[in-house]
Amino acid sequence: MAEVEFIEGHRSVVVRCPDLGQTLLEASLAAGIPHYHTCEGQARCSTCRVLVLDGGDALGPRSELEDELARMRGWPDAIRLACQARPSGAARVRRVVNDEVDVDLACRECVGWPSAEERELGLLFCDIRDFTAITEQQLAYDVVHSLNRFFRQVGDPIIANGGTINKYMGDGLLALFGIGGESREACCIRAARAGVEMLAAASALNVYLEEHFGFSFRPRIGLHFGRVLVGQLGHPSRMDFTVVGDAVNAASRIEASNKAHGTDMLASGELVEPIRGLVHVGRVFDGRLRGMRQRVVLHEILGVGDAPTCG
């Protein structure tokens, strides 16, 4: 007889499956577990999904319907549909959907981005030095027009180098490299090349800004490579694909460190190490990032291969 332990908050419930052809959903409902299943076990709603904590092999392979939904939603192997899993041994699981709010979130999940997944990505943070001072002296329309032109100019190199512009934050942006599963070296060199080309694009844009508005934008860029959690976050009416984790915080603080060091682009050792022979490095700084305990080595990036040298 197969037995599956459900972790329910601070307690656990052991569900016995006397029939090897029985689904995990059928067994859990028979045991009195309030297991949501709004599509009545047709592998469409995903509300019966569970997170496998141990013994995933005992739940059998994904069915064709489950595999199709899992690929659409970008689920890791540890996420299973209870209506499709058929236990044959011991396993430990936890329900993902626990109340009506969870049901609503599950039913609104977007197709095309992972719902939750750990990934190693290249991260690029960019913002504009002294932007607040610029806005205080300019007409609002001119600021928005100039900022949109800036995002267009610096965004092109990100896209051209295989990056994804994840979000805009006032005068700043976050770009990701490696969403498509590229190697670490590919992520790092593309992020570094994008940064170099962004600075060159901003320099060209400044000729226009100085001529028409009497000011210029000086971007600062921070580069990092690390493990992040990617997923859909936000209110159900406005869900966005985004990334969270220490690596994101580190990339943001690396970008901010440019101010203290008088640099335009800094990269962590994690990003520079796999491409050391392909980038032109200037000064190197050793210290701690604001609000973080571990020491880091930051490299000033001056150029990449045949890309233009930053100045």
Per-residue pLDDT of the chain (311 residues; tens, 9 = 90+): 899 999 988 889 999 988 878 999 999 999 999 898 888 888 888 899 999 999 999 999 999 999 988 888 878 889 999 999 999 999 999 998 888 877 776 766 655 555 567 889 999 999 999 999 999 888 888 889 899 999 999 999 999 999 999 999 999 999 999 998 899 999 999 999 999 999 999 999 999 999 988 999 999 999 999 999 887 777 766 777 788 999 999 999 999 999 999 999 999 999 999 999 999 999 999 988 887 777 889 999 999 985 444 44
Handedness of CA 160, 161, 167, 173 (dihedral sign): negative
pTM score of the predicted model: 0.71
Q: What 3-state DSSP class applies to 278?
A: helix
Query: What are phi and psi for residue 152, nearest 5 degrees?
Result: -65, -45
Q: Which two tokens stand for residue 276?
A: 């050391």
* Residue partners of 261: CB distance under 8 A and separation at least 6: 283, 285, 298, 300
53, 123, 235, 307 from 105: Cα distances, Å: 22, 28, 9, 45
DSSP 73-119: HT--TTEEETTT----S-EEEEES--SHHHHHHHHHPPSSS-SEEEE
How far is residue 99's CA from residue 294's CA, in Å, rounded to a whole number? Answer: 39
Place of tokens 């209110």: 235
Structure tokens at 199: 């600075």
Q: Which domains does the chain have, with CATH numbers?
A: 2-108 (3.10.20.30), 116-304 (3.30.70.1230)
Q: What is the DSSP letter of 296?
A: E
**Among 265, 248, 225, 235, which residue's Cα sits nearest to residue 166?**
248
The three state secondary structure string of 15-80 is: EEECCCCCCHHHHHHHCCCCCCCCCCCCCCCCCCEEEEEECHHHHCCCCHHHHHHHHHHCCCCCEE
